[in-house]
Amino acid sequence: MSYIDLHTHSTASDGTFTPSEIVALAAELELSAVALTDHDTMAGIEEFLEAGAGASEVEAVPGVEVSVDFTGKEVHIVGLFIDHEHSGLNELLREVRVNRHARNDVLISKLNEMGYEITMDEVLAEAGGESVGRPIVAKILVRKGYFKEPQAVFDDCLKRGAPAYTQRVLPSPKEVLELIKAAGGVSIWAHPLYRAANDRTYMRKVLRTLKPLGLGGIEAYYTTFTLAQSRAVEEVAAEFDVLLSGGSDFHGGNQPSVELKKGRGDLAIPADLLADLREKAGK
């Protein structure tokens, strides 16, 4: 049986593997398809597609991940099979990155007030790419010895409700879903469940709103999901007649416990999901 991974991040956002290295690793792991879904940027897609063209054994699926504001909560939308040169989507992503940078300024100031020595220059140098996320901040604080591992940084400082947490200005679901469609893509609600939660009520609430706006699918297979969580997503997806997707959320060395293809060890996303997603995108 062949497998796929439709949620990964490269050096264009907050991963440590270049786009071409992700394709090479996917081929080595015998994935039949891999998607590059960097946060708020499609800067790595051209390199990714060029590498995919040279690796006939693995399909390179162009994508992006964008956070949207859903009734005051952050919901992540992955676009698959997108045209990375679409002007409207690129303009939206540029605005999102501006807002992300403004958030980072405030976040770093809060960390400084808490006694952590970290600067924006350090963060930008560490990131390399144009979309700088909180995992980069966590990586620096771990390297400086303030914390033992990145999750501890999020728990103590960066997650919602923690002292340094700073909300970003996010686009609306309608705007993002419409632009993903305009760019020839299919939109997927990424990691709809958090940690050990199995909240079917919340999933139904989101899907009632987002499906009429153009949402095409939902991630049922994800690194942190238990078997019960995946089953819950499958069942709710069937209720709303949306497609299934899945991915590891691979970030390379920035999240060393998460591997491409396998997640934290037992992730296995069947390749037969891809045909329906491709058809939904009109490809």
In a domain, 246, yes or no: yes
In a domain, 119, yes or no: yes
In this structure, the answer to whether residues 56 and 142 fall within a common structural domain is: no
In this structure, the answer to whether residues 233 and 273 fall within a common structural domain is: yes
SS (H, E, C) the chain: CCEEECCECCCCCCCCCCHHHHHHHHHHCCEEEEEECCECCCCCHHHHHHHHHCCCCCEEEEEEEEEEEECCEEEEEEEECCCCCCHHHHHHHHHHHHHHHHHHHHHHHHHHHCCCCCCHHHHHHHHCCCCCCHHHHHHHHHHCCCCCCHHHHHHHHHCCCCCCCCCCCCCCHHHHHHHHHHCCCEEEECCCCCCCCCCHHHHHHHHHHHHHHCCCEEEEEECCCCHHHHHHHHHHHHHHCCEEEEECCECHHHCCCCECCCECCCCCCECCHHHHHHHHCCC
In this structure, the answer to whether residues 123 and 259 fall within a common structural domain is: no
Length of the chain: 283
Question: Residue 167's CB: how many other CB atoms inside 10 A?
Answer: 11
Mean pLDDT over the full length of the chain: 94
| Chain segment 196-232, per-residue pLDDT in tens | 566 899 999 999 999 999 999 999 999 999 999 999 9
In a domain, 164, yes or no: no
What mean pLDDT is predicted for residues 175-203?
90
In this structure, the answer to whether residues 199 and 238 fall within a common structural domain is: yes
State the pLDDT at residue 84: 97
Domain end residue (candidates: 135, 158, 181)? 158
In this structure, the answer to whether residues 44 and 77 fall within a common structural domain is: yes
In a domain, 136, yes or no: yes
Q: How confident is the model at residue 195 (pLDDT cuts 50, 70, 90)?
A: low
In this structure, the answer to whether residues 151 and 247 fall within a common structural domain is: no
Residue 71 above 60 pLDDT?
A: yes
The residue with greater pLDDT, 94 or 150, is 94
Domain end residue (candidates: 137, 158, 179)? 158
State the pLDDT at residue 34: 98
State the pLDDT at residue 151: 87
In this structure, the answer to whether residues 64 and 111 fall within a common structural domain is: no
In this structure, the answer to whether residues 11 and 50 fall within a common structural domain is: yes
Residue 114 above 90 pLDDT?
A: yes
* Among 69, 41, 67, CA closest to 172: 69
Contact of 245 with 273, CB cutoff 8 Å: yes
Residue span of the structural domain in which 110 resides: 94-158
In this structure, the answer to whether residues 188 and 139 fall within a common structural domain is: no
Minimum mean pLDDT among 16-30, 72-86, 108-122, 189-203: which range?
189-203
* Among 81, 80, 67, CA closest to 14: 67
| Token code pair at residue 93 | 């992503």
Question: Residue 141's CB: how many other CB atoms inside 10 A?
Answer: 21
In this structure, the answer to whether residues 100 and 62 fall within a common structural domain is: no
CATH number of the domain enclosing 115 = 1.10.150
Those residues with Cβ within 8 angstroms of residue 102's Cβ, 6 or more apart along the chain or in another chain: 168, 169
State the pLDDT at residue 131: 79
In this structure, the answer to whether residues 200 and 242 fall within a common structural domain is: yes
Prediction pTM value: 0.91
In a domain, 105, yes or no: yes
CATH number of the domain enclosing 253 = 3.20.20.140
Give dist(CA 130, CA 183) in Å, integer.
21
Longest CA pairwise span in the chain (Å): 52
Residue 162 above 80 pLDDT?
A: yes
In this structure, the answer to whether residues 56 and 99 fall within a common structural domain is: no
Contact of 218 with 245, CB cutoff 8 Å: yes
Domain end residue (candidates: 105, 130, 158)? 158
| Chain segment 51-62, per-residue pLDDT in tens | 999 988 999 999
Name residue, tokens 């909560």: 73
In a domain, 163, yes or no: no
Structural domains in the chain (count): 2
In a domain, 23, yes or no: yes
State the pLDDT at residue 198: 65
Percent of the residues in the chain that have a pLDDT greater than 90, as a whole number: 84
What mean pLDDT is predicted for residues 90-108?
94
Contact of 189 with 244, CB cutoff 8 Å: no
Percent of the residues in the chain that have a pLDDT greater than 70, as a whole number: 99
In a domain, 222, yes or no: yes
State the pLDDT at residue 255: 85
Q: How confident is the model at residue 1 (pLDDT cuts 50, 70, 90)?
A: confident
